[in-house]
Structure 1
Amino acid sequence: MADVRNPTPEYLAFWRERHVCTLTTLRPDGTPHVVPVGVTYDPEAGVARVITGRGTRKVANILAAGPEGARVAVCQMHKARWATLEGRATIRTEPEVVADAVSRYAERYERTPRQNPERVVIEIALDRALGNA
């Protein structure tokens, strides 16, 4: 298990490479909902971020968990390398938080996402990091 706030240089480098990731949330009935997403990882803050639309199922699943947020996992893999970050997700809507997350996404994925007035941030307070990267 890696330290979410002090990852190895290899683990951090893997999270800075351009990879599509998955986000796993739980539906209100307890079944998993897994979707492809872009993820940015900020080990200094112990946070991962996903930008998305306010009306998505993943946002609804997190909101349904209540004000404490929802347990989630984000994962990426490439060939035999893989890395998973786990933690408690909450939804952030403040314009400055959204703008910061968009900037981080643009840096990692080398493209600026289209304008979306309904954009929110899934902010994950990390407490576990796994992988072999």
Structure 2
Amino acid sequence: MIPTSHVDILEKESFAHIATILPDGTPQVTPVWVDHDDREAILLNTARGRRKEKNIKQNPNVSVSILDPDDPYRYISVRGEATLTEDGAVDHIDKLAKKYMGVDEYPHHGDESGPRVIIRIPADHVVTSG
């Protein structure tokens, strides 16, 4: 579980950095918007066909870290096996657009390389600081 002491980081306009593994075995890190699932998992959103989605399909082992935008020495890090689902992904990206852009609907629907996908990373291995 994500500790209650650090859940506020996920509810701010914090940016996460997700590390996935490229086909050649090297890491790839991408900044992304972040959300959580009742403290049980980190939720991210992407489009089918994006590099991170392809990497996760090949190797679901990921790590994500999120700094507190108000105190960069305070953070939460989660690692584990990510899952991918299209279920609820459009509503989820709209929710994230409200949080990060202040708009009711994600402005790039249809501009992406594929359907929206939720990346879910269970909070089984959590490290916090600060």
Settle same-fold status: TM greater than 0.5: yes
Letter in 2 for 1:91: L
RMSD in angstroms over aligned alpha carbons?
A: 2.0
* 1:90 aligned to which of 69, 83, 87: 83
Distance in 2 between the 1:21 and 1:118 partners? Answer: 21
Structure 2 distance, partners of 1:100, 1:47, is 17
Query: Does the alignment pair 1:35 with 2:30?
Result: yes
* Residue 68 of structure 2 corresponds to residue 71 of structure 1: no
Report the Cα offset of residue 89 of structure 1. 0.7
**3-state SS of paired residue (2:14):** coil
Q: Within 2, Cα distance between the matches of 1:61 and 1:48?
A: 17
Return the offset for 1:23. 0.7
Partner of 2:53, secondary structure, is helix
Matches within 5 A, 1:2-81: 4-5=1-2, 7-8=3-4, 10-44=5-39, 46-65=40-59, 70-77=60-67, 78=69, 79-81=72-74
**Percent identity over paired residues:** 28
SS at structure 2 position matched to 1:63: helix
Three-state SS of the structure 1 residue aligned to 2:124 is strand
User: TM-score, normalised to structure 1's length?
Assistant: 0.78
- After superposition, the Cα gap between the structure-2 partners of 1:42 and 1:104, relative to the gap in structure 1 and judged at 3 Å, is farther
Aligned length: 121
Bigger mean CA deviation after superposition, 84-93 or 29-38 = 84-93
Q: Which moved more, 1:23-32 or 1:109-118?
A: 109-118
Deviations 1:56-84 (A, max 9, x none): 1100101112xxxx111111223222211
Q: Secondary structure at the match of 1:131?
A: strand
TM-score normalised to the size of structure 2? 0.79
Residue in 2 that maps onto 1:130: 127
The AA in structure 2 aligned to 1:31 is T
Whichever residue aligns with residue 33 of structure 1, its letter is: Q
Deviation at 1:103, TM superposition (A): 4.5
Change (3 A) 1:48 1:107: farther
